[in-house]
Amino acid sequence: FRCDGRTYCSQMTSCAEATYFLRNCPNTKMDGNHDGVPCERQWCN
């Protein structure tokens, strides 16, 4: 994966990708409850 400007869960294709973006890329909007798990309603459930 690489940081390419995507910030939303709707732009991700997997939990692994979302987790990478959350941990490594700036300004992501994927962890609404700030528990370190991104996209819980879509990918990481």
Number of residues that this document lists for the chain: 45
- pLDDT attached to residue 20: 98
Do 41 and 33 meet the contact criterion of CB atoms below 8 Å apart?
no
Give domain limits for the chain: 1-44
- pLDDT attached to residue 9: 98
pLDDT band at 37 (very low <50, low <70, confident <90, very high): very high
Written in H, E and C, the secondary structure of the chain is CCCCCCCCHHHCCCHHHHHHHHHHCCCCCCCCCCCCCCCCCCCCC
pTM: 0.91
For all residues of the chain together, what is the average pLDDT? 97
- pLDDT attached to residue 6: 98
- pLDDT attached to residue 17: 98
